Amino acid sequence: MMDTYILAIESSCDETSMAVVKNGCEVIALSITTQMDTHAKYGGVVPEIASRMHTEAITFVLEDCLEKAQMKLEDMDAIAVTYAPGLTGSLMVGVESAKILALMYHKPLIAVNHLIGHIYANNLENNMEYPLLALIVSGGHTELLVMEDDYKFKRLGETMDDAIGEAYDKVARVVGLPYPGGPNIEKLARMGSHTYFLPKPVMDDTYNFSYSGLKSAVINLVHNETQRGNDIRKEDLARTFQDIAIDELVRKVDKAFKNTGIKRLVIAGGVSANQYLKSEMSKLCQKYDAELLIPRMLYCTDNAAMIGAAAYPKYLRKEFSSYNLEVSSSADIV
């Protein structure tokens, strides 16, 4: 079979990224610019600034990516782009660029869901075999799915309120750490002990998650201690929060292993960069003699290579989008 080269575009949040991916698994080139430093000044992503910065960056990122790949747009077999979910203005920059390139160069257009992209990031270094359990843990989503085959998803559970990454970011903010909070809380937690009392989420009968109670408990604790004039032991608070937040994921995946008999777990999304999550899940997988797949750090956080990987099964099935493709700020996988 001929090799397939897909140019993939990702601009759903605060990274502008393009990649050339061969056969859905080999990264020929990857270019990423992040707006993180700009948004850090505001304590979170400012949508208007994000879309403007994507517009400014996109041409340069395209040139950089093609130069790294030593390829031309004519060499591509398809153009893939994240169309959902994400910030509408940001998504539009990627989608409009993809449509223009596809039209100009007569290439098929492939619309990719960002979360499915995070799952397929695992194909960049490993070969996903089915059936598998997929845990999506990002700034906007916390979901546990069964994947029976390419693009065949069944949802076991999801968050009823906040996503786990969102909880990390909010907790970071109340203890005075800059955006994005996840990596900063993780660093702090390494130096602390589980000494505070925080309530565990109670979603025991289901596979669903809940993080708003835990987040509010941290906010209240900081507020009360500050009012009493007491210092917060930030390291210990970060550690206590992280233990509970990750333990909740472990308990639900444990239950899914037990009930489904599936022997494979894929973890996807920004929070999968967390070392504590990795080590706890790897212990769990040992217990069930299951395989654990987590992409390397570069492919855990937002990047276009994962979009190229997720576009490949659609390319093989000729699932192309019309040149009228529109963005969607929230698109369910299932």
Residues 69-108 that bind ligand KG4 (CB under 6 A): none
**Of residues 40 and 262, the one with the C-beta less far from ligand KG4:** 40
Contact window for ligand KG4 (CB under 6 A) among 17-25, 162-170, 192-200, 228-236: 162-170
Residue 322 and residue 170: Cα distance in Å, rounded? 39
**Of residues 102 and 214, the one with the C-beta less far from ligand KG4:** 214
Q: DSSP assignment, residue 191? A: T
Beta strand segments in the chain, E:
5-10, 15-22, 26-34, 78-84, 109-113, 132-137, 142-149, 152-158, 264-268, 291-293
Contact window for Zn ion (CB under 5 A) among 22-30, 77-85, 135-143, 274-282: 135-143
Residues 244-303 that bind Zn ion (CB under 5 A): 302
Q: How far is the CB of 275 from ligand KG4 (least distance, A)?
A: 7
Q: Using an 8 Å Cβ cutoff, are 168 and 271 in contact? A: yes
Residue 332 and residue 334: Cα distance in Å, rounded? 5
Check residue 182 for interaction with ligand KG4 (CB under 6 A). Answer: yes
Beta strand segments in 85-216, E:
109-113, 132-137, 142-149, 152-158
**Of residues 180 and 192, the one with the C-beta less far from ligand KG4:** 180
Q: How far is the CB of 298 from ligand KG4 (least distance, A)?
A: 11
Out of 301, 304, 311, 327, the residue judged to bind ligand KG4 by CB under 6 A? 301
Check residue 243 for interaction with Zn ion (CB under 5 A). Answer: no
183 binds, options Zn ion, ligand KG4, none, Cβ within 5 to 8 A by partner type: ligand KG4
Check residue 139 for interaction with ligand KG4 (CB under 6 A). Answer: yes
With 0-12 CB in 10 A as exposed, 13-18 as middle and 19+ as buried, what is 191? Answer: exposed
**Residue 330, Cα to own-chain centre: how many angstroms?**
14
Check residue 138 for interaction with ligand KG4 (CB under 6 A). Answer: yes
SS3 state of residue 269: coil
Check residue 82 for interaction with Zn ion (CB under 5 A). Answer: no
Binding-site string for ligand KG4 from residue 244 to residue 283, where x marks contact by CB under 6 A and - marks none: -------------------------xxx-xx---------
End-to-end CA distance of the chain: 31
189 binds, options Zn ion, ligand KG4, none, Cβ within 5 to 8 A by partner type: none
SS3 state of residue 159: strand
Q: Using an 8 Å Cβ cutoff, are 177 and 185 in contact? A: yes
Which residues here bind Zn ion, judged by CB under 5 A?
A: 138, 302
Which residues here bind ligand KG4, judged by CB under 6 A?
A: 13, 138-140, 165, 168-169, 180-183, 186, 269-271, 273-274, 301-302
